[in-house]
Amino acid sequence: MRLSFVSSLAVVVISWVVFLPFHQVEACSRIFWNSNGQAMLVARNMDLVDYPVIYVMPAGISKEGKTEDDNPARWTSKYGSVVMAFWRCADLCDEGINTQGLAFHYLFMSDTEYEERDLSRPGVDGGIFGQYLLDNAATVKEALDLMFPPQNTQLVPGLGDLFPCHVALEDATGDSAVVEFIDGEMVVYHGPAHTVLTNEPPLDQQLDNLKRYRKFGGNLPWPGDVESMDRFVRASAFLLTLNSQPFPSLHPNLISRLFSAIRAAATPFGTRASDGNSWPTIWTSLFDLTNKTIYFTDTVAKNNFWIDMGKLNFSPSAPVLYLEAYRPGLFGEVSGLFIPLPQE
């Protein structure tokens, strides 16, 4: 097993349950701003044509890994969380944050090659892998420990087409990790320096490429295309500028400043990467891990709203709630607009 910065990891990958053939989609950018001295903030562009739904998951829910074999993992959620999901399905989560300030994000990476299923280990299907981490871990380290022996839980393929992804993790202490699956083995980059992620190629190649550019050891100007590697460079570069304040009279708050950086890595409508695979940025999310607040914009619905997690009920007796984030007219603090999930 290949390791990077973390040793003795024993986990196998997961793929994602999907219903459309997105084998060559390039999508998404993530920036973690953990150096501002006030709050741990992470922003992410979602470049995927989708109708996002936000779910409030209370603590105390009994869940299982939803694998198609005889050994799914089973657990009861220790922490409550808020998750964003694909295609109006709570079991297809692409990112989220829990009440302890741990967050995760899936980003597409076509170079992903997952490990084979080991039936001796309890399995967790890809669509709820993020929930599994948020339910059981308070920090990045604890999330990574869930992949260590003795628990030795395995992430497994789901139904339908494989959705190759790498995952970013961050927490309220400023810790961060990127988890990738290369040539059937798990590779982990763990530490607060891992603040930017886009798509192809794997992170080690992105970091090598970054050294060719201005402010990172090279002489090249920052690129302006929508290619994944170009977005990685731009996101890294603009993250460097966030702590400077050339116009103090403007008094931009931290949220506004990070939004300005992540939008510089967005994919505008009508643009394409050289291989024709880029999709436009449909929504942008920003998590304040310190103050447990979620900010969300939907480009198509023209929504700009936020969610104060302190106003939500995550107690074990609380119901699962949801909000269709693409519903037109959402503005301001919207925690009171969540409604119970219909009973099956």
- Condensed to tens digits (0 to 9), the pLDDT of residues 43-89 reads 999 877 677 899 999 999 999 998 888 899 999 999 999 999 877 78
Dihedrals phi, psi of 210, to nearest 5 degrees: -60, -30
Alpha helix (H) residue ranges in the chain:
129-136, 140-145, 203-210, 228-241, 254-263
pTM equals 0.89
CATH number of the 29-202+271-340 domain:
3.60.60.10
Q: What does the buried/exposed string (b/e) look like for 285-315 if buried means 16 or more CB atoms within 10 Å of the residue's CB?
A: bbbbbeebbbbbbbbebebebbbebeebebe
pLDDT digits (tens, 9 = 90+) for 193-224: 999 999 999 999 999 999 999 999 999 999 99
At 10 the pLDDT is 30
- CA 132 centroid distance within chain: 14
Six token digits for residue 108: 């597409």
Sequence ranges of the domains in the chain: 29-202+271-340
pLDDT (average), residues 23-47: 86
Q: Give the integer Cα–Cα distance in Å for 298 and 216.
A: 33
Within 10 Å of residue 332's Cβ, how many Cβ atoms? 8
pLDDT (average), residues 237-257: 84
Beta carbons of 26 and 47 less than 8 angstroms apart = yes
